[in-house]
Amino acid sequence: MLTLHHLDNSRSLRILWLLEELGLDYRLVRHQRDPGTMLAPAALRELHPLGKAPLLIDEDDRGRRRVVIESALIIEHLLDRHAPDSELRPAAGSEARRRYAYWLHYAEGSLMPLLLLKLVFARVEQGSPAMIRPIARKLREGADSAFTHPQLALHLDYLEGELERFAWFAGDDFSAADIQMGFPLEIAASRGGLGEERTALNAFLERIRARPAYQRAMEKGGKAVG
């Protein structure tokens, strides 16, 4: 039995989407963020010390449970254990498989840290007392202009170029790498960061949003980002 613990506006949407793409039976447990801190609820810490989502519980017929966290690892676990013949992972040894593995890691290792840094500075400014908010704004603007915005532009231009060369991130066919990459690109788009000139990235988002499994995940788990 698969149980996905899903947090609103979080990476766990990826796993919900993947489960729908694979057509696997699963139970969905939804969690809401604390409206004040925007952090995950304490209930998730009862399942894993870090209290993060996505969190997948995989229980076999003998009652043995495995708790799996981290999006890329959950993706690989589901494909290895429950859908080894799925077309959502390219054939071993192929160039598409190498690209697939690269994007699984790139999404969290390179792109998400930049988006989170931008979010943190924005929240520091918003949460600052009125008297020091102008200082916090200056710090945010300085960080954005000197580092965050140039780096994001560099990465988005890189991704634009990749999707001009290939239909999907791993190559010619849709794969779980596109599920992994969809979340940070949805975040970038929601905050006005893609730009109309990046037509390949915008077309990618249109294609994934048109997928029935993506739409079912949205219905069950809520919107991708706030």
Specify the CATH number of the domain 2-89+216-221. Answer: 3.40.30.10
Q: Which fold has domain 95-215?
A: Glutathione S-transferase Yfyf (Class Pi); Chain A, domain 2 (1.20.1050)
Question: Left, alpha or beta for 97 (phi > 0: left; psi -120 to 50: alpha)?
Answer: alpha
- Comparing 18-27, 49-58, 156-165, 208-217, which segment has the lowest mean pLDDT? 49-58
Instruction: Note whether 184 and 114 are within 8 A (CB).
Output: no
pLDDT for the residue numbered 226: 45
Read off the pLDDT of residues 17-60 as tens digits, 9 standing for 90 and up.
Answer: 999 999 999 999 998 887 766 777 888 888 999 888 999 999 98
List, in order, residues 6 or more apart from 124 with CB less than 8 Å away: 136, 139, 140
The confidence band for 223, taking pLDDT boundaries of 50, 70 and 90, is: low
| pTM for this model (two decimals) | 0.89
pLDDT value of residue 61: 77
Give pLDDT tens digits for 107-153: 999 999 988 877 766 665 566 666 766 665 766 666 566 677 888 99
DSSP three-state, residue 7: strand
Give the domain ranges of the chain.
Answer: 2-89+216-221, 95-215
Tokens representing 84?
Answer: 């080894």
- DSSP, collapsed to helix, strand or coil, labels residue 54 as coil
Instruction: Give which of 34, 35, 33, 30 is closest to 15, Cα–Cα.
Output: 30
What are the b/e assignments for 53-80, b being 16+ CB within 10 Å? bbbbbbeeeeeeeeebbbbbebbbbbbe
Specify the DSSP element, H or E, that contains 3: strand 2-7
Of the candidates 135, 91, 142, 80, which has an alpha carbon nearest to the alpha carbon of residue 117? 142
Q: Which range, of 45-54, 150-159, 197-206, averages the lowest pLDDT? A: 45-54
Instruction: Give pLDDT tens digits for 75-120.
Output: 999 999 999 999 999 999 999 999 999 999 999 999 999 888 777 6
- Answer left, alpha or beta for residue 86, where phi above 0 means left and psi between -120 and 50 means alpha: beta
User: Is the model's pLDDT at 173 over the cut of 60?
Assistant: yes
Neighbours of 87 (CB within 10 A): 12
